[in-house]
Amino acid sequence: MPENSPSVPLATTTTGPGAAVPAKVPAAGQHVPGRWRQLAVLSPTVLTDNSESSVVSTLFAAMRQTLGMSLSHLGLLQALSRVTGAVSGPLWVAAARRAGRRSVLAGTGLWMGGWLAACGLSQNFAQLLTCYLLAAVGAAAGQPLVHDLVADLFDEGSRGRAIGAMYGGVTLLGAVIGPLVAQLAEAPGGWRSGFCAVGALCVLAALLVLFLFRDPGAGASEATATAAHHTSGAFSRQTLRRLFGIRTFTLMVVQRLLSGHLLVAGFGVVFLTERGFGTATAALVAIPSGVGYLLGSVAGGLVTDRVHRADPEHGRVRTLQVLQLLYAGLAFLGTQIDWQGIGAYLLLFGAMAAVQGANPGVNRPIVMAVTPPDLRGPAFAVLISVAEALAYALFNLGAGALGDALGLRTVFLWVLVVLMAVNALFCGLLHRTYPHDVARALDSAAQDAPGA
């Protein structure tokens, strides 16, 4: 079956070299066949896209001894990789418009796996940084393209569940892999094997996409659409003007810049080592975090879909606000109080992860609801590859520099507690824009529908 051929019978036209464009999509209430199976094939890509960050954080204590690294080096490594992704992410979305989303996902996965394995051969920080940044080039493709595909596989009423299941499943798997990789830190040079193992997982995920995934076609889950909506939007000034002309999307970009919980992935294990726990013990936090994220993702997706059905105009926004406030409270308990044993930290970090895990099932469907199918690829490239990556970079760069001077506890107070409370207040602006932008998107789709 050709890569971009839909999974349901659709008439097609051609708008560019090799681009199959559906002229018709499933009617309202009709599911894309095999959507959950296709989601399962895509999910490991999300895991491997986040793996380069987690392996560095997990193995940092061993790496810093071998390569003479400090917290500033870790912050620089994490920050520059995100900046690299902010540049390359939109380029991969543009490339997928011509080469197809499946080809780009598979190719970038193979690229990332190779360069992560090369990180394990590094003899100094400069070599590690070079290989790590090259891996980050490939990692930037996954998130925007996967979310674009999820919107095409699932309709508006089931996207929360789908995203929750995807994030929950891959995080649980990561919770198993993380401690296993951390055990390598106890052996001389074991961090090198950790990079090679994660690189191999990236290659495996890429092969799954290449041989088992079938692209449903852009807009395949929409109730109404036209052929013009079935090509991925190219990155241009016009595309960006259309995107930022959607007020809800603009606010969501700023909201991601205020998402301080992104810092935990890069410095969570390091924070616990500063509390006096060994690397292997501190890395155990991945287990309750993974379980918590799984429960939060699945439960959050189910609850969000129900809240949305009960209150389509404000339900998702209120849920988003509650999650930010709840995270700030849990982060205060988990990072600002000196607990005597690792057990309390495991419990609280697991609760923080549960709240964080519920976020994608809320914020991703918000963006999907206000953007037309042809803008979703660029929208998630801007939201995740650019805004989220830059926020992650700034948080990690600042944490590395300020952590050496003030300690991670102080950094966590301002970023995980104070900033997240500000985030909750900022999300209140969505109450004014989201209902209007959803209505406008539905009106536009109805006007463009065949026979309208």
Per-residue pLDDT of the chain (452 residues; tens, 9 = 90+): 333 333 333 333 333 333 333 333 333 445 788 899 999 898 888 776 565 566 777 777 778 778 888 777 877 887 788 788 888 888 888 888 888 899 999 999 999 999 999 998 888 889 999 998 999 888 888 888 888 898 889 888 788 888 888 877 777 777 677 777 777 766 777 888 888 888 898 899 999 999 999 888 877 777 654 434 444 555 678 889 999 999 999 999 999 999 888 788 778 888 898 888 887 788 888 788 878 888 888 888 888 888 988 999 999 999 999 999 999 999 999 999 999 889 999 999 999 999 998 998 899 999 999 998 888 888 988 988 888 878 877 787 777 777 777 788 888 999 999 999 999 999 999 999 999 999 988 877 666 554 44
| pLDDT value of residue 142 | 81
| pLDDT value of residue 183 | 74
Q: What angle do the packed helices 159-183 and 142-153 form, to 10 degrees? A: 140
| pLDDT value of residue 54 | 65
Q: Domain count of the chain?
A: 1
The phi, psi pair for 3, rounded to 5°, reads -60, -45
Residue 204 lies in a domain: yes
Residue 29 lies in a domain: no
Sign of the alpha-carbon dihedral angle for 298, 425, 415, 394: positive
Q: What element of type H or E holds 13?
A: strand 12-14
- Partnered with residue 13 across adjacent β-strands are 21
Tokens of 87: 């540049």
Residue 219 lies in a domain: no
* CATH number, domain containing residue 272: 1.20.1250.20
Residue 221 lies in a domain: no
Report pTM.
Answer: 0.74
| pLDDT value of residue 247 | 97
| pLDDT value of residue 448 | 56
Nearest to 170 by CA among 357, 388, 376, 367: 357
Q: What element of type H or E holds 12?
A: strand 12-14
- C-alpha 348/C-alpha 334 separation (Å) is 5
Q: What angle do the packed helices 125-139 and 35-58 form, to 10 degrees? A: 160
| pLDDT value of residue 98 | 85
Residue 152 lies in a domain: yes
Residue 2 lies in a domain: no
Q: How many Cβ atoms from other residues are within 10 Å of residue 371's Cβ?
A: 24
Residue 449 lies in a domain: no
Residue 79 lies in a domain: yes
Range of the domain at 171: 38-214+239-441
Nearest to 246 by CA among 450, 35, 14, 440: 440
Nearest to 144 by CA among 172, 104, 200, 204: 104
Tokens of 249: 């999307």
CB 297 within 8 A of CB 167: yes
Q: How many residues does the chain have?
A: 452
189: left (phi over 0), alpha (psi -120 to 50) or beta: left
- C-alpha 124/C-alpha 219 separation (Å) is 47
Q: Report how far apart the first and last C-alpha atoms of the chain are (Å, whole number).
A: 32
